[in-house]
A and B are shown apart, each in its own frame.
Chain A
Amino acid sequence: DSGVTQTPKHLITATGQRVTLRCSPRSGDLSVYWYQQSLDQGLQFLIQYYNGEERAKGNILERFSAQQFPDLHSELNLSSLELGDSALYFCASSVGPRQETQYFGPGTRLLVL
């Protein structure tokens, strides 16, 4: 158990819908990262927050947004969902803004029908 929790574990929804994925980092970790894992793209970095502020941005679609709250949990919002958004979404956390080791949560499996 990495200490990172993600909810929900599974999510099935329809195209055009909006969903929110939630992540709680390990106690004491200030950085939260979001990654997407799909068969065709592999593991892709989406976005990082550090102590409430956006720190780095990857190939995140404009339909996707994220935030980190004062209690350090984070939410990833996916809107206008398309079939191609079906993937595993992982949250990871680390102590600092550029800490080497990241601790991954169990992931949220999103299926868009």
Chain B
Amino acid sequence: SQQGEEDPQALSIQEGENATMNCSYKTSINNLQWYRQNSGRGLVHLILIRSNEREKHSGRLRVTLDTSKKSSSLLITASRAADTASYFCATDGPYNQGGKLIFGQGTELSVKP
């Protein structure tokens, strides 16, 4: 079963607007990551935030983490048509389960030019 739930399932915005995606998870974590997937292709790692961090930036990406609410958000600022993709949050599993990642069901982002 999946750890995370993402919200919204789909998001459609205009170029230049900001896009915010949310992720909730169920169990305690060491870190949370965001990945991007273009139409049926491989996943690309975007950013990792550790459980003792509250906010992290990478270029136009801003990720927040609230461990008390077991939730994270990904903000993409000044979106571009090339940002159109599915975005997934992933959490690490229990320590005795190796390096497995547990993925949410993803948010499908569409950025219209």
- Asked if A and B bind, the verdict is yes
- The residues in A between 1 and 27 inclusive whose CB is less than 8 angstroms from any CB of B are 2, 4
The A/B interface has a contact count, at CB < 8 Å, of: 75
Shortest Cβ distance from B103 into A: residue: A43
User: Which A residues are in CB contact (< 8 Å) with B35?
Assistant: 104
Interface, chain A (partner B; CB < 8 A): 2, 4, 31, 33, 35, 42-45, 48, 50, 55-56, 58, 88, 90, 92, 94, 96-107, 109
Known interface pairs A42-B106, A43-B88; A48-B41 also in contact (CB < 8 Å): no
User: Which B residues are in CB contact (< 8 Å) with A97?
Assistant: 98-99
Q: Flag if A99 contacts B99 (CB, 8 Å).
A: yes
Known interface pairs A42-B2, A42-B106, A43-B88; A102-B44 also in contact (CB < 8 Å): no
| Per-residue A-contact encoding for B80-113, CB less than 8 Å = 1, 0 else | 0000000010001101011111111110000000
User: Which B residues are in CB contact (< 8 Å) with A103?
Assistant: 45
**Complex: A43 Cα to B87 Cα, angstroms:** 12
